[in-house]
Structure 1
């Protein structure tokens, strides 16, 4: 069974949190700049508008693009700072209390649920795929998986040793889990929007 040290200081997860946080923050920043550009230049196409299918404008201008009364990218600008800080702190040797991990997971779970909803809205309601939104999807999904599994393998969520050992083995499957998730989204988009037909 892996030592507690590998669980309390999960270096690989910390590195991923930093990478995902930076990528997610950059996507949110880029979308925010596109929103500013749209407000300053009404009617002008965004730089990420590549076709009627692949574009940012329709998503940003929709009700789904401002669910809480302000543009969704602002959530990313603030929210993605947390994984970066947590990842850096872990690498620096910080140890977090159980309540902190649960609060952090709650934020990640909210982001995951929100992304799933946005994916469904993009594919089944808006009929568009926003490039920067998809970047956010790509990093949010595995981040949720890895943090959730860590809570079980580290005993932050009280479980039996057998479950902890299973979670410790499962952590290595996160890349495959993410790829399968991307494949499901791709299939749904293809069936609903005929992405390949629109692109080629």
Structure 2
């Protein structure tokens, strides 16, 4: 069974995105506990009506599975760090492992996309720590997708493999740019007043 190991840069990217997501999940979890103890608690990242972590934490969407979302992040991003550290140590994983990791990343990007929509158009507020977790997930998803396509674990035509080999940075940059534009246009009046 063919195995693939990422290079040092890819391994570091996996570790750093996992660490960023874990940090965000940890801070949000601590603030959520404080909010449960004291309903009047205002998280430090609640800066104005738009950047209002407290509003996001109090929403129904903040506990999509019946428990606070950041607790899911504590587990998921912890796994990401373990995968990245294994790669740094020289591990090479078989295709089924990479496809399972990609399935987790696909769930993560889907969940993050739903949370972005809910924050922008239902809750009407942003959480800066959530934005850090979103950024980490976007980078992780696109670079893992690029890795498994280039290594042939997902069937893809030659031009797509060549694109990912040469321009792997384009899709995450485009994705982040679209989210940034949605945020900017959603609160254009607030930012320009």
Same fold (TM over 0.5): yes
TM superposition shift of 1:45: 1.4
Which SS does the other structure have where 2:93 is aligned? Answer: coil
Change (3 A) 1:160 1:127: closer
Which residue matches 1:191? 185
Which residue matches 2:136? 139
TM superposition shift of 1:160: 4.9
Instruction: Report the Cα distance in structure 2 between the residues aligned to 1:69 and 1:13, rounded to whole angstroms.
Output: 34
> Which of 144, 153, 158 lines up with 1:156 in the alignment?
153
Which residue matches 2:81? 84
* Superposition map of 1:117-136 within 5 A: 117-136=114-133
Change (3 A) 1:8 1:108: same
- The number of aligned residues is 191
TM superposition shift of 1:168: 1.4
Cα root mean square deviation, aligned: 1.9
For the Cα contact (< 8 Å) 1:111–1:140, is it kept in 2? yes
Which residue matches 1:28? 25
Unaligned runs of 5+ in 2: none
| TM-score w.r.t. length of structure 1 | 0.88
| TM-score w.r.t. length of structure 2 | 0.91
Unaligned runs of 5+ in 1: none
For the Cα contact (< 8 Å) 1:149–1:170, is it kept in 2? no
Which SS does the other structure have where 1:80 is aligned? Answer: helix
Which SS does the other structure have where 1:79 is aligned? Answer: helix
Further displaced range: 36-45 or 151-160: 151-160
